[in-house]
Amino acid sequence: MTSSRPGWIRLVRSSASGGRDSLSPACLALRRSLAAGVKPAFPPSLVVQVKALACELPHRLGLPLSRLSIEEIRQHVISQGLVAQISGATLWRWLSSDALRPWQHRSWIFPRDPNFAAKAGPILDLYHRVWDGVPLGADDFVISADEKTSIQARRPKQPTLPPAPNRPTRVEHEYFRGGAWVYLAAWDVHRAKVFGRCELDNGIAPVDRLVSEVMSQEPYKSARRVFWIMDNCSAHRGQKAADRFRAQWPNAILVHTPTHASWLNQVEIYFSIVQRKVLTPNDFYSLADLEQRLLAFQFHYERTASPFKWTFTRNDLHALLAKLDAKRLAPAA
């Protein structure tokens, strides 16, 4: 079913059940149902109109809101004369059938790098063990690395209480600040190995210490090539950083992600796991306690870890960029 935008819908007087005040066959059947004491169904056209309304930005409806709730949709439907009365449960059921949630939002950004496809393509190939159109050898490795900055050690002012029957873990809202770490991590994409270290500051020296920790041990030390996928942070930005890598570790090849493309860096998946499993809730007595927990989790995670199932390919990338270009070039409504 399709429907025009709410602004184009001719408003008509409706009955309490949603039926229009006309002598159409549907309305006559509705009145007969009412007379017989049967609770009538809302007409499909009303369902379509409500869903179309839920797909509008609130300011286009003349509402001073940033997003719509079920109650606000209900009030707007009634005020516009689409229906005399309707329950929030009914609206919820209609919207849920199409997974419409206008009360939620998600931030996103258009690709800013003019060479986005040219930079992202080789990374996607590496995840599928290909470089310059040639499959990687057994002595080629792919490392995804980045920094997770400003990880604070927060000590609650009252001890954390463990879970109990009918009670979740309780963490005191107020806390003492115990300092912050920069957590640098490197993820071996195809071997599911993780390397990490905590540093007080970010910069070239901490990054080089992480890379040296990895490159000084086997199998990376004697590998033919070790591809390092990293973003454009100042500590490893541009050709200067790539030259620095090759000067210190001749078999290391630095591959930069495009600008605003952290989602292409697999180590971000690992960071999201760390955030959920280690850092939430934040309950650490000191920086040493926080460091111990982060480094211990690496070994804990590796025991059952497997490579991430990365299915996004170059073809998917081209389709996505074409879709975004169409949205970006579309005239504003």
Cα dist. 221→137, 188, 209, 291 in Å? 15, 14, 15, 26
Amino acid (1-letter code) at residue 26: A
Residue 46 tokens, joined: 């009303």
- pLDDT in the model for residue 161: 87
Q: Is the pLDDT of residue 113 over 90?
A: no
- Confidence tier at 35 by pLDDT (50, 70, 90): low
Q: Is the pLDDT of residue 246 over 80?
A: yes
pLDDT above 90 coverage of the chain, percent:
70
Q: Is the pLDDT of residue 230 over 90?
A: yes
- Confidence tier at 6 by pLDDT (50, 70, 90): very low
CB 144 within 8 A of CB 186: yes
Beta bridge partners of 187: 144, 194
- CA-CA distance, 302 to 299, in Å (whole number)? 5
What average pLDDT score do residues 234-260 get?
93
CATH class of 116-323: alpha beta
Name which residue leads in pLDDT, 100 or 31. 100
pLDDT 10s digits, 154-185:
988 888 889 999 999 998 888 888 899 999 99
Q: Is the pLDDT of residue 286 over 80?
A: yes
Residue range(s) occupied by CATH 3.30.420.10 in the chain = 116-323
Q: Is the pTM of this model over 0.85?
A: no
Average of per-residue pLDDT values in the chain: 87
Tell me the H-state helices in the chain: 25-35, 44-54, 70-79, 88-97, 116-127, 204-215, 238-248, 267-277, 287-302, 314-329
Name which residue leads in pLDDT, 9 or 314. 314
